[in-house]
Amino acid sequence: MGSHDDDDNLITPDEPKVPSADTVEQYLRLHEHIEQLRQDKRPARPGKLTSEEARTYQAAALFRAATPGADEPDPDFVASLRARLAQEISTPPTTRALRVARGRVSRRGLLAGGIGAAAAAAIGVAVGSALPHASSQTPKWTTLINQGSGIWQAVATTDEIPVGGVKRFVTDAVVGFVRHTSEGYLALSGACTHMGCLLNWNAGARTYDCPCHGGRFTETGMSAPSSAVEYNPLPSIQTKVEDGKVWVYVVSAPPSDTLPTPGGTGGYPTR
């Protein structure tokens, strides 16, 4: 890092300095970056930066964080992350250890979005035998919970979804879609396998669209050809019909304040 400070030739209102061409580019690039931060959007990569330039961008991030209210987490985000983590920790330790081991093998993949696949998987779906495409495209995630450790929850009445219809459902830990086909009712996890963002059903295109990074899934849960990137298929969820209702088999996520027994928290306060 240079010791002299060429920036002490400051621009002042009365004597604007004409900047050289490449620095104009720098100003504009940073400006674009700041505007993206002000919209709370993921900024475009600024390209290769020197460490001094990176520090300038870091200062922009810091100042943005000081904008009143900016660094307050979105309650929806907090709630959904909590649900995912509650789900994650209710999986048996052996499964967890297995996934950790696997994560270690492909750290790069983990960062490139593999973790998102796991995160979405963590949203807690009992992947039954009914993963129709598992043989052709082996998903990175495996069985999420053991059979028997989930619960059945009713998410719709049979007459509310016509054949061809799709209904979104929300349980304590799972957001998903149940679809009425000629073969019956089928359900899928509603979290994108990229980063776990919640998908929207696009009735026109008959796809599940991810609002975050352009992921798209066909109604059967496969990565759609129009997806920005080919992602792992959506985990399927077991369904059954009983008492005129459609049930899905999901992991229960007890609220955190009902779980712990007194004295069991080892000095870490619970809420």
Backbone angles phi, psi at 59, to 5 degrees: -65, -40
Nearer to another protein, 61 or 203 (CB): 61
The rounded distance, in Å, linking the Cα atoms of 210 and 76 is 16
Q: Does 171 help bind another protein (rule: CB under 8 A)?
A: no
Q: Does 148 help bind another protein (rule: CB under 8 A)?
A: no
Q: Does 7 help bind another protein (rule: CB under 8 A)?
A: yes
Residues 14-33 that bind another protein (CB under 8 A): 16, 19, 26-28, 30-31
Q: Does 82 help bind another protein (rule: CB under 8 A)?
A: yes
* Chosen residue from 92, 132, 164, 184 binding another protein by CB under 8 A: 92
Residues 108-127 that bind another protein (CB under 8 A): 111, 115-116, 118-119, 122
* Chosen residue from 4, 21, 22, 45 binding another protein by CB under 8 A: 45
Q: Does 163 help bind another protein (rule: CB under 8 A)?
A: no
Closest by CA position to 192, among listed 32, 84, 65, 44: 84
Find the part of the chain contacting another protein (CB under 8 A) among 75-83, 125-133, 165-173, 238-246: 75-83
Q: Does 51 help bind another protein (rule: CB under 8 A)?
A: yes
**DSSP collapsed to 3 states, the chain:** CCCCCHHHCCCECCECCCCCHHHHHHHHHHHHHHHHHHCCCCCCCCCCCCHHHHHHHHHHHHHHHCCCCCCCCCHHHHHHHHHHHHHHHCCCHHHHHHHHHHHHHCHHHHHHHHHHHHHHHCCCECCCCCCCCCCCCCCCCCCCCCCCCCEEEEEEEHHHCCCCCEEEEECCCCEEEEEEECCEEEEEECECCCCCCECEEECCCCEEECCCCCCEEECCCCECCCCCCCCCCCCEECEEEECCEEEEEECCCCCHHHCCCCCCCCCCCCC
CB of 24 to another protein, least distance (A): 8
Tokens 């949203």: give the residue: 123
CB of 167 to another protein, least distance (A): 26
* Chosen residue from 41, 148, 162, 182 binding another protein by CB under 8 A: 41
* Chosen residue from 88, 126, 155, 174 binding another protein by CB under 8 A: 88
Find the part of the chain contacting another protein (CB under 8 A) among 36-44, 172-180, 226-234, 242-250: 36-44
Q: Does 71 help bind another protein (rule: CB under 8 A)?
A: yes
User: Which neighbouring-strand residues pair with 246?
Assistant: 156, 241
Nearer to another protein, 72 or 159 (CB): 72
Q: Does 139 help bind another protein (rule: CB under 8 A)?
A: no
Q: Does 255 help bind another protein (rule: CB under 8 A)?
A: no
Residues 197-236 that bind another protein (CB under 8 A): 212
